[in-house]
Amino acid sequence: MAQAVELAQVWRGGRLESLHRGHAVVVDGGGAVVQAWGDPGLLVYPRSSAKMIQALPLVESGAAAARGLGADRLALACASHNAAAIHVDPVNAWMAELGLDDAAFRCGPQEPRDLPMRDALIRAHQAPCQVHNNCSGKHAGFLTLAAHLGAGPEYLEIDHPVQIAAREAFEDATGEDSPGWAIDGCSAPNHACTLAGLARAMARFATAQTGQGARAEAMLALRRAMVAHPELVAGEGRACTALMRAMDGVAVKTGAEGVFVAILPGQGLGVAVKAEDGATRAAESAIAQVLVRLGALPADHPVATRLIHGPITNWRGLRTGEMRPGTAFA
């Protein structure tokens, strides 16, 4: 097993203060590893980076079409959102169309990352609801599929038809039999795979075209939805949204514990990154560095500069240090 490599460095006062190590891999449309840093065979939980895979049954089953879900709803099904009004309002409307309310979710309440929404709840003396959970769009998608299948309300149980379909889609997309699963932050099952398998799934999304069957059609619809609505996939101030706005047709998605993936249709490539210490800043830096190396993200774009070389400031706004690229990408 290859050792972790340097993904990103943190400097303060002219000295190296922190070092983030991890792994990254690029896979082509044929499923082959074309470039790797560290161990492409590392077993990982994709966490929220797999949301577009989990949304595949929603589309390919016909449930999305039957409910008239547009690209905005599909983007929300793939989202780890800020719970801003642009996220919460359409998810609430989606639930109302299903004849459901907040109690039908199984993701749990979460304080909004969006400050105006958080402050509005505080002023109204209201507690956060489950719709404010960053995964509520994915769960609305699960509930839509459950209704389409005529399945019961406990849609997160591992033997529920929704989760059976999600696992089948995951194993098919990654090209691997998952060795196990764990519970994600939103209470949904999250299946393990190798980092190369995760990148392989992203390469399949990248190469999906019309006329290749229901699964490829679903991949194409979800990829296009993410690219068309980057503000719904994450939100203002988030790396996912900023990166997709900075590139042409490339979809990206973060996951907890230092996971990040990218779908590059123009090159037919999939990318997956895992920071060994689970640091978000390391994963954001690493995915940006790989995207720059692949020519998808201009090296001098402000988003690339911020994620790879971004200044570190303190509470007074003083610059106290900066991020630097790791030696892996030198």
pLDDT tens sequence across 239-267: 999 999 999 999 999 999 999 999 999 99
d(CA 104, CA 140): 9
Nearest CA-CA partner of 269 in 291, 241, 297: 291
pLDDT of residue 19: 97
pLDDT of residue 87: 98
Give 330's pLDDT tier (boundaries 50, 70, 90).
confident
Residue 148 has pLDDT above 80, yes or no: yes
- Spell out the residues 6+ positions from residue 106 whose beta carbon is closer than 8 angstroms to its own: 130, 139, 154, 155, 156, 187
Give 307's pLDDT tier (boundaries 50, 70, 90).
very high
Q: Are strands 259-264 and 193-194 parallel, antiparallel or unpaired?
A: unpaired
pLDDT tens sequence across 81-125: 999 999 999 999 999 999 999 999 999 999 999 999 999 999 999
Q: What are phi and psi of 38, to 5 degrees?
A: 85, -140
Largest CA distance in the chain: 62
Note the pTM of the prediction, 2 decimals.
0.97
Q: How many CB atoms lie within 10 A of CB 38?
A: 23
How far CA 244 is from CA of 96, 199, 250, 300, in Å, comes to 30, 18, 6, 16
Give 2's pLDDT tier (boundaries 50, 70, 90).
confident
pLDDT tens sequence across 187-231: 999 999 999 999 999 999 999 999 999 999 999 999 999 999 999
At the topology level, CATH places domain 5-329 in Beta-lactamase (3.40.710)
* Residue located via tokens 């044929």: 30
pLDDT of residue 62: 98
Nearest CA-CA partner of 259 in 157, 179, 184: 184
Residue 152 has pLDDT above 80, yes or no: yes
